[in-house]
Every structure is written in C-alpha cells, then in structure tokens.
C-alpha cells in the first residue's frame, strides 16, 4: 500500500521534475510483500462446518453494516478528490480534510486507490460474510487489514503533522470528528480479520454435504 502511493505520488506530484535514477531503488521493496503474500496463501486451512444464515449471526450482521458504511465513505472521498461539484464534497475538502488538496498528490492517490481497489474488495467482503464457502476471505482479510492500517496511519499523520503546509492541515475544530471517522475506517478491516481468524468455519469451501439444508416438514 505505501510503496504504490509513494511511487505514483512522486510521478504525478509537484516533485516529479526532481526525480533521479535513484528513484528505481524503491522497486525492490515490492518483492518482500509479494514473497510474504505467497507464503501466507500457501498455509493449510483448518476449519469446521458452519451453515448459519446472516440473521443468525448478529456479530457478522453488525460487521456487514460497518463495512457498508466504510464502503460509502470510501466512495464519497473518491468523489471528493475527483473534484465532484456537489456542495457536500466542496465543504468536506475545505472544512474537514483539506489535506486532500495538497499538491504533493499522495492523499489524492491514496483516496483513488481506496475507491478503485478497496471499495470493490469491501463489496467482496460483504459477499463473503453473507454466503458461506468463500475460503479466500480469511487470507485476504489479513492483507486487507494490514494495507488499510498502514494507509490510515500515514494519512492521519500527514494530515496532522505540523510540517504539512498550513492551508492543508486539518482544522482544530474538526480534529475529533476527523480522528473518529478515520480510526473507525481502519477498525472495520481489523474486526473482519479478527472474525475470520477466530471463527473460520463459515468460510470452508462448499461441498454437497455442507450445502444440504434440512427441508421443513
């Protein structure tokens, strides 16, 4: 997550004219996450059978609601950095998160990655919590949680850092609402990963035996 934002932000931001061949030294940092991801997905899966509907799983239902709100906020901030003319977008970027206007382009790239990659994955996570047998979700939830944590840490730190130009710093009167929304944004993926690792039975690959449901008399 960090290297993608860093590379693209350098290429399209205000410092793009200052790049040198040493910029390519950042590329090897992509290899370690790829290696770690391959090791993660090769781990064996051990789980038990579970066949409950969503209304029988109140914790999953609450998690689906949280992910829906996260998806809506992701889409909204994507519209904000794309210069949506709506009054709510204009008010948000000037009064709540002016850092999104910073010409270094890192925050804009981050919000676009959220919109075009994280948003579809949030929808897939909701699908995986509603229907059983999505065996890919426990592994990918770990990757997803780590990426969002890093991204939100960098975004919060940059928004509040004193060296960020003053016009782009978060106004003091909205600090608490800014912190609350962004911390909750990072919390959803952590809860999803915790749920998948704590009780992975629901995500077992579907088989004819697990798909069979008792018919009413």
Q: How confident is the model at residue 167 (pLDDT cuts 50, 70, 90)?
A: confident
In angstroms, rounded to a whole number, what is the distance separating the alpha carbons of residues 159 and 167?
Answer: 11
Q: How confident is the model at residue 152 (pLDDT cuts 50, 70, 90)?
A: very high
pLDDT at position 188 is 92
Q: SS3 of 150, please?
A: helix
Q: Which sequence spans correspond to the domains of the chain?
A: 57-198
Question: Helices 58-81 and 87-95 sit at what angle, rounded to 10 degrees?
Answer: 90
Residue 127 pLDDT exceeds 50:
yes
Please classify residue 109 by burial: count the beta carbons closer than 10 Å to its beta carbon, then call 0-12 exposed, 13-18 middle and 19+ buried.
buried
| pTM for this predicted structure | 0.71
More confident residue, 201 or 106: 106
In angstroms, rounded to a whole number, what is the distance separating the alpha carbons of residues 93 and 125?
Answer: 28
pLDDT at position 200 is 80
pLDDT at position 217 is 44
pLDDT at position 54 is 76
In angstroms, rounded to a whole number, what is the distance separating the alpha carbons of residues 126 and 122?
Answer: 6
pLDDT at position 174 is 87
pLDDT tens-place string over residues 25-84: 777 777 777 777 777 666 554 433 456 777 778 888 999 999 999 999 999 999 999 888
Residues 6+ apart with CB under 8 A from 32: none
Beta-carbon count within 10 A of 163 CB: 6
Output phi, psi for 153, to 5 deg: -60, -45
Q: Which of 17-31, 36-50, 95-109, 113-127 has the highest mean pLDDT?
A: 113-127
Measured CA distances, 174 to 24, 72, 87, 188 (Å): 39, 20, 18, 22
Cα 53 to chain centroid, rounded: 26
């Amino acid at each position: 997550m960090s290297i993608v934002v860093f590379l693209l932000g350098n290429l399209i931001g205000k410092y793009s004219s200052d790049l040198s061949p040493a910029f390519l030294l950042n590329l090897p940092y992509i290899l370690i996450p790829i290696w770690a991801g391959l090791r993660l997905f090769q781990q064996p899966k051990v789980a038990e059978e579970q066949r409950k509907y969503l209304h029988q799983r109140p914790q999953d239902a609450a998690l689906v609601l949280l992910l829906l709100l996260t998806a809506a906020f992701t889409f909204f901030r994507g519209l904000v950095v794309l210069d949506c003319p709506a009054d709510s977008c204009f008010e948000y970027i000037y009064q709540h998160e002016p850092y999104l206007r910073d010409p270094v382009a890192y925050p804009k790239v981050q919000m676009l990655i959220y919109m075009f990659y994280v948003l579809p994955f949030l929808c897939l996570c909701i699908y995986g919590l509603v229907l059983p047998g999505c065996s890919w979700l426990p592994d990918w939830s770990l990757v997803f949680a780590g990426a969002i944590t890093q991204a939100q840490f960098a975004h919060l730190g940059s928004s509040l850092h004193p060296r960020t130009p003053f016009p782009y710093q978060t106004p003091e009167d909205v600090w608490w609402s800014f912190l609350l929304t962004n911390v909750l944004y990072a919390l959803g993926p952590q809860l999803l990963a915790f749920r998948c690792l704590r009780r992975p039975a629901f995500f077992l690959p579907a088989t004819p035996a697990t798909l069979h449901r008792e018919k009413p008399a």
